[in-house]
Amino acid sequence: MGGGLALKSPFGTFVAPNISPDPDDGIGRWSEADFVTALWKGTSPDGRHYFPAFPYTSYQRMALADVRDMFAFIKTLPPVKGRAPDHDVRFPFNVRRLLGGWKFLFLDGEPFKPDPAQSAEWNRGAYLVNGPGHCAECHSPRNMLGGIVDAQRFAGGPDVDGKGWVPNITQKGLGDYSDKDLAYLLSTGSTPTGDSVGGAMTAVIRNTSELSDADREAMAVYLKSLPPVEGPPRPAKN
């Protein structure tokens, strides 16, 4: 939790901060309300806008009880000394005041709302995928302002670092994968064809493998229900 991971993007390089309980370099002096405000509103304890490389557009869907539980868990972890390096973001995207306008466009402040027409399992999966899992943040193309293209949500696209391609996880991309295939992938990282996930997804699997079987199955049920959506065209290989 000591931060330092560099996230390269067309706007510059964002660096994950120290979120350990260290009182000087981490979030050890934060209150629970500070933490909730950061996740739901993308705002720091001193009122600054956070860059949306911190996926608060997804975390805003999380239930208050879950956000409080996250904060309580982080407080039990060992503090880590050392501040992460500053972001290296080019002008004018480094002007944080402009993020107020970005939030007006892309942060709606709405919590997750269950669909009464769907099963409890489907709704649990929808919550995990769209809230704490923030799957759309990587598996969706973005517009020129860095906001998710809603019409192609979950349809994959170029990795923001420009070095790879994020797969389409609508039915267009998942194809013949069954619910069980997806749940197994979220547990082990292995695909039905015997391949395995790579890149940043390996870290995701380390986390989804810690979920209960029921939660992974719920995520699979929800993802398999997504209608097929054509993503952006993939460039031809040279």
Listed by start position, the domains of the chain span 6-106, 120-225
Task: Write out the chain's pLDDT in tens, 238 residues.
Answer: 888 888 888 888 999 999 999 999 999 999 999 999 999 999 999 999 999 999 999 999 999 999 999 999 999 999 999 998 899 988 888 888 899 999 999 999 999 999 999 999 999 999 999 999 999 999 999 998 889 999 999 999 888 766 788 999 999 989 889 999 999 999 998 888 888 888 788 889 999 999 999 999 999 999 999 999 998 888 766 5
The pLDDT of residue 187 is 93
The pLDDT of residue 160 is 74
* Residue 112, phi then psi, degrees to nearest 5: -65, 135
The pLDDT of residue 159 is 82
Q: CA 184 to CA 192: how far, in whole Å?
A: 9
Contacts of 35 (CB under 8 A, 6+ apart): 27, 67, 70, 71
Q: CA 69 to CA 39: how far, in whole Å?
A: 13
Residue pair 22/75 in contact (Cβ under 8 Å)? The answer is no
Among candidates 113, 128, 148, which has minimal Cα distance to 223?
Answer: 128
Q: CA 198 to CA 186: how far, in whole Å?
A: 13
User: pTM higher than 0.75 for the full model?
Assistant: yes
The pLDDT of residue 238 is 54
Sole residue written with tokens 């209608």? 227
Residue pair 20/79 in contact (Cβ under 8 Å)? The answer is yes
Q: How far apart are the first and last CA of the chain?
A: 39
